[in-house]
Amino acid sequence: MTAPLHEGHPTGPGRALPDTQQGMRRRNLARVMHTVGAEGPLSRASVASRIGLTRAAVSTLVDELIRSGLLEELGPERPGRVGRPGSALAVSGRGPAGIGAEVGVDHLAVCAVDLRGEVRARAVRHGTNRGRAPGPVLEELASLLRLVVADAEREGLWPAGLAIAVPGLVAPDARTVVRAPNLGWHDLDLGALLPAELPLTVDNEANFGGLAELWLGEGTPRDFLHVSAEIGIGAAVVVDGRLLRGTRGFAGELGHVPVQPDGPECACGGRGCLEQYAGEEAVLRAAGLEPGEDRVGLLAGRAAAGDESVRQALRDAGTAFGVALTGAVNLLDPESVVLGGALAALAPWLLPSLREELARRTAGPACAVSVSRLGPEGPLLGAAHSVVRTVLDDPAAVAERG
Amino acid sequence: MTAPLHEGHPTGPGRALPDTQQGMRRRNLARVMHTVGAEGPLSRASVASRIGLTRAAVSTLVDELIRSGLLEELGPERPGRVGRPGSALAVSGRGPAGIGAEVGVDHLAVCAVDLRGEVRARAVRHGTNRGRAPGPVLEELASLLRLVVADAEREGLWPAGLAIAVPGLVAPDARTVVRAPNLGWHDLDLGALLPAELPLTVDNEANFGGLAELWLGEGTPRDFLHVSAEIGIGAAVVVDGRLLRGTRGFAGELGHVPVQPDGPECACGGRGCLEQYAGEEAVLRAAGLEPGEDRVGLLAGRAAAGDESVRQALRDAGTAFGVALTGAVNLLDPESVVLGGALAALAPWLLPSLREELARRTAGPACAVSVSRLGPEGPLLGAAHSVVRTVLDDPAAVAERG
DNA sequence: ACTAATTTGTAAACGGCCATGACGAAATAG
DNA sequence: CTATTTCGTCATGGCCGTTTACAAATTAGT
């Protein structure tokens, strides 16, 4: 009876359910969950009017969701208007939880997020993973995982799935890391190396960062570019609330957009790619610094301290970003561009020249550029929330397991 | 009872129907129509297995569609396999038709397409519309329209809607031409100037060209860039079978992607935009030609005749295209890039340098670049088919009117 | 304080729709 | 000529949202 969830990469609300009565029921259950989850405590009547069903129908849907423990009744609303007050419904703080994990270059992190979207447990281990063998790293990750799951279970949660963000390219099976240069990993099936108790999804951390921005960002934008720079310079392209992956899963390679067609050669085969001007290495070199351990922290620190050569290097990088983003904005006409991940920390010195360049090249009002408020937490939260979304997208599937 | 179709711009299959039993029924009717339409004559049983319903359910759906005149029974299939042969079903060649129209710079065209996708009537008037007042042009269009509708009706068709392709920017209401520089039109509500007998949709001709490629192109690609150059250089971005419009409807402005950041100034405010190197004017200038009436034809003619300066100009334009498309391909990872519209005629001289540049800047196999087989017909066919799609997407809505 | 009006949630009857299972019809295979 | 397979249809049943009615709980008006 379970639908094929977790197939391929996580995407937006899955319209994969068949157009049969049971499929309809499941979609309506999902719509109730989403509505209550997104718009706070709501009465049955308001849910009904929002999703276009009758109160009676919503009543039965809600009954089923309450019996499954996915929704809970908070009791009568405070009556402000005329008429009988409704009974407030809220997404349950117990039951299934999404487990998110991140394998960063300099840390490991795991967290548990409940259906309400709140982080209920977390564990972090700092220390570089650059060049370490995958085995020990994943064993360490598994121990953090056990810790977080135990914490979550103490709070009445049970793990509904695990999503892992990695700094590299992931195969379409959503399990295999094709290559993660900064870790030195390649062709690694994480599913085979981790305890297989949970449905597993692996994805690029830039993608999870973009999804986090989509689900948790300010103003709930549905069309934007989320630019981050952990490995190279990547952008998550979100169109109409869906992450654009491309036919081969290579979409968002902003780092290899040509900025100066006859510029220096790039490893990708091209010339004058954005990465040659705004990549980590290029900026460090332009600033006259040696590549060390915490490169981004080093840059941010020097810039904050007033180091003019670092500031100039970042200004130039911002200008290059502006050129590349002009192309992207002309092509996609997004609502906004959001700087996330490591770029968020450098934003104060990147933004002015970036915005200036973008505005200079745009007729009319330029596309808004902002900084993600999620900062470096994005990918981890996005991963955990992606699991939560699968539950919200098909509550009936999880009710059977609970 | 009619659903709000024709709202806003035409898009992919509309998932706007409510999750109620009637909505389900309507979606299933649509799925039967699409399946039969796309995969030729099919028996009830094959339709059932394809869309995941039972034979009994499909039988009732088909009955309804036959009664409405949207489907017709061709009789028993030739039995090749064991078992009782099925009765072949096909989309009807009578009934509703989509009327497409194109207001080009040098011509007016109208055609009628039946539900099978075949052009059943057409009318064209050649002659420039550059700078003519909108009134007379639209009157002429209306007369062509009457001609085509009369022809179509003689064949048992009735017009289900009208879609007009214009060389310019169209407001989100899908009726108002914001500006069409080559026509000299601005802020023109076509809905108010044409007989309002039919549901009307107006859209950019580049968008309709892209949709035509999506619906009628070879290999039914779902992720591609359709590049055309009627007004400036525009690209229709198709992602997962849907046309990407952008938040303001400005998506696909490939012409203003920076190719040389410190190149010549452009009207858009930028510098070194693709249009400065591969735009019509730029190429004519580089080739040492005067802008005349049929500019593209002139270029193609000279190039075919062996004019080396024209060929060199087109080669250089192709290289500039290659640079801009490298950025686009890196960002979107499409299945292919298709050259359509006027570019199709110039493709022989553009393609080699374009492909070379794209390949040179790509690690691994470069994105495929092909030429649309629809050529200059694309926008007109796309317009007509967009109406057909709205019928296929909700057959129940039209059955009431028939 | 009392009545009228309004809104909420529930229950029962209803109708629509797809699934199930059985059956006759029409072909092939042996 | 019989067994088998497949197709289309019919009757039955179960699921699900709607409709209608009603009790409960609040506000507005007198």
| Confidence at residue A402, expressed as pLDDT on a 0 to 100 scale | 54
Q: Does the CB of A69 fall within 7 Å of any strand C atom?
A: no
pLDDT band at B401 (very low <50, low <70, confident <90, very high): low
Q: Do A333 and B239 touch (CB under 8 A)?
A: no
The residue-averaged pLDDT of B229-240 equals 91
The residue-averaged pLDDT of A73-94 equals 93
Nearest chain B Cα distance for residue A245, angstroms: 8
**Which residues on neighbouring strands pair with residue A272, listed in sequence order?**
none
| Confidence at residue A6, expressed as pLDDT on a 0 to 100 scale | 30
| Confidence at residue B231, expressed as pLDDT on a 0 to 100 scale | 76
Q: Does the CB of A54 fall within 7 Å of any strand D atom?
A: yes
Q: Would you call B219 an interface residue with chain A, using a CB distance cutoff of 8 Å?
A: no
Non-local CB neighbours of A174 within 8 Å, separated by 6+ positions: A6, A8, A9, A10, A200, A201, A202, A203
Q: Do A268 and B363 touch (CB under 8 A)?
A: yes
The residue-averaged pLDDT of B376-391 equals 97
Q: Would you call B254 an interface residue with chain A, using a CB distance cutoff of 8 Å?
A: yes
| Confidence at residue B7, expressed as pLDDT on a 0 to 100 scale | 32
Coil, strand or helix: which one is A272? coil
Q: At what angle do helices B295-305 and B342-360 cross, to 10 degrees?
A: 60
As a rounded value in angstroms, the CA-to-C1' distance for A67 and C16 is 28
Q: Do B327 and A327 touch (CB under 8 A)?
A: yes
Partner B, chain A 283-342, Cβ-Cβ below 8 Å: 323-324, 326-328, 330-335
Query: Does the pLDDT of residue A3 top 50, yes or no?
Result: no
Q: Does the CB of B54 fall within 7 Å of any strand C atom?
A: yes
Which of B 5-34 have CB under 7 A of nucleic chain C?
Answer: 21-22, 24-25, 28
pLDDT band at A364 (very low <50, low <70, confident <90, very high): confident
Q: Would you call A237 an interface residue with chain B, using a CB distance cutoff of 8 Å?
A: yes
Using a CB-CB cut-off of 8 Å, the residues of chain A touching B274 are none
pLDDT band at B8 (very low <50, low <70, confident <90, very high): very low
pLDDT band at A247 (very low <50, low <70, confident <90, very high): very high
Q: Does the CB of B45 fall within 7 Å of any strand C atom?
A: no
Cross-chain CB nearest to A244 (options B20, B247, B332): B332
- One DSSP character per residue, A77-90 reads PP--SSSPPPEEEE
As a rounded value in angstroms, the CA-to-C1' distance for A46 and D25 is 17
Query: What confidence tens digit (pLDDT) does each residue in B175-209 have?
Result: 999 999 889 999 999 999 988 889 999 999 999 99
Q: Minimal CA–CA distance to A206: which of A316, A116, A338, A321?
A: A338
* Domain B96-209+379-391 CATH assignment equals 3.30.420.40: yes
Q: Per the structure block, which two tokens stand in for A68?
A: 């499954």
Q: Strand A200-204 relative to strand A157-166: parallel, antiparallel, unpaired?
A: parallel
As a rounded value in angstroms, the CA-to-C1' distance for A70 and D26 is 29
Phi, psi of A159 (to 5 degrees): -70, 125
Nucleotide D20: nearest residue by CA–C1'? A56
Query: What confidence tens digit (pLDDT) does each residue in A14-45 have?
Result: 456 778 999 999 999 999 999 999 997 999 99
Three-state SS across chain B? CCCCCCCCCCCCCCCCCCCCHHHHHHHHHHHHHHHHHHCCCECHHHHHHHHCCCHHHHHHHHHHHHHCCCEEEEEECCCCCCCCCCEEEEECCCEEEEEEEEECCCEEEEEEEECCCCEEEEEEEECCCCCCCHHHHHHHHHHHHHHHHHHHHHCCEEEEEEEEEECCEECCCCCEEEEECCCCEEEEEHHHHCCCCCCEEEEEHHHHHHHHHHHHCCCCCCCEEEEECCCCCEEEEEECCEEECCCCCCCCCHHHCECCCCCCECCCCCECECHHHHCHHHHHHHCCCCCCCCHHHHHHHHHHHCCHHHHHHHHHHHHHHHHHHHHHHHHHCCCEEEECCHHHHHHHHHHHHHHHHHHHCCCCCCCEEEECCCHHHHHHHHHHHHHHHHHHHCHHHHHHHC
CA A69, CA A344: separation in Å to the nearest integer?
Answer: 38
CA A88, CA A75: separation in Å to the nearest integer?
Answer: 6
Nearest chain B Cα distance for residue A250, angstroms: 6
pLDDT band at B16 (very low <50, low <70, confident <90, very high): low
Non-local CB neighbours of A39 within 8 Å, separated by 6+ positions: A50
Q: Does the CB of A21 fall within 7 Å of any strand D atom?
A: yes
Using a CB-CB cut-off of 8 Å, the residues of chain B touching A257 are 326-327, 330-331
Using a CB-CB cut-off of 8 Å, the residues of chain A touching B365 are none
Q: Do A361 and B271 touch (CB under 8 A)?
A: yes
Q: Which CATH number fits domain A96-210+379-391: 2.60.40.10, 3.30.70.270, 3.30.420.40, 3.65.10.10?
A: 3.30.420.40
* Domain A218-373 CATH assignment equals 3.40.50.880: no
Q: Would you call A58 an interface residue with chain B, using a CB distance cutoff of 8 Å?
A: no
Q: At what angle do helices B55-67 and B21-38 cross, to 10 degrees?
A: 80
| Confidence at residue B230, expressed as pLDDT on a 0 to 100 scale | 80
Cross-chain CB nearest to B331 (options A27, A245, A251): A251
Q: Minimal CA–CA distance to B251: which of A330, A236, A366?
A: A330
Q: Measured in whole angstroms, how far is the alpha carbon of residue B225 from the centre of its chain? A: 12
Query: What confidence tens digit (pLDDT) does each residue in B139-187 have?
Result: 999 999 999 999 999 999 999 999 999 999 999 999 999 999 889 999 9
Q: Strand B368-371 relative to strand B336-339: parallel, antiparallel, unpaired?
A: parallel
Nearest chain A Cα distance for residue B248, angstroms: 7
**Which residues on neighbouring strands pair with residue B163, listed in sequence order?**
B100, B201
Non-local CB neighbours of A34 within 8 Å, separated by 6+ positions: A13, A392, A393
Nearest residue of B to residue A223, measured between CA atoms = B247
Three-state SS across B122-141? EEEEECCCCCCCHHHHHHHH
Q: Which range among A100-114, A310-324, B288-302 shows the weakest confidence by mean pLDDT?
A: B288-302
pLDDT band at A366 (very low <50, low <70, confident <90, very high): very high
Query: What confidence tens digit (pLDDT) does each residue in A337-357 have?
Result: 999 988 999 999 999 999 999
Q: Does the CB of A83 fall within 7 Å of any strand C atom?
A: yes
Domains A96-210+379-391 and A218-373 share a fold: yes
Mean pLDDT in chain A? 92
Q: Would you call A257 an interface residue with chain B, using a CB distance cutoff of 8 Å?
A: yes
* Domain residue limits, chain A: 21-94, 96-210+379-391, 218-373
Query: What confidence tens digit (pLDDT) does each residue in B295-353 have?
Result: 888 999 999 999 999 999 999 999 999 999 999 999 999 999 999 988 999 999 999 99
Residue B217, Cβ density class (10 Å: 0-12 exposed, 13-18 middle, ≥19 buried):
buried
Residue owning tokens 């926008």: B379
The residue-averaged pLDDT of A159-180 equals 95
**Chain D bases under 7 Å from protein CB?**
4-11, 14-21, 23-28
CA angle (A13 as vertex; A11, A18 as ends), nearest 5: 110
Mean pLDDT in chain B? 92
The CATH number of A21-94 is: 1.10.10.10
Instruction: Assess contact for B106 and B126: CB atoms under 8 A.
Output: yes
Nucleotide nearest to B43 (CA to C1'): D7
Using a CB-CB cut-off of 8 Å, the residues of chain B touching A27 are 19
Nearest residue of A to residue B234, measured between CA atoms = A331
Name residue A60's amino acid.
T
Q: Do B252 and A335 touch (CB under 8 A)?
A: no
| Confidence at residue B226, expressed as pLDDT on a 0 to 100 scale | 97
* Residue A402 half-sphere exposure toward CB, CA atoms < 13 A: 22
The residue-averaged pLDDT of B82-103 equals 96
pLDDT band at B400 (very low <50, low <70, confident <90, very high): low
Nucleotide nearest to B87 (CA to C1'): D7
Instruction: Assess contact for B180 and B118: CB atoms under 8 A.
Output: no
Q: Does the CB of B76 fall within 7 Å of any strand C atom?
A: yes
Q: Per the structure block, which two tokens stand in for B218?
A: 């070879």
pLDDT band at A163 (very low <50, low <70, confident <90, very high): very high
Nearest chain A Cα distance for residue B141, angstroms: 32
Please tell me which residue, B232 or A33, carries the higher pLDDT value.
Answer: A33
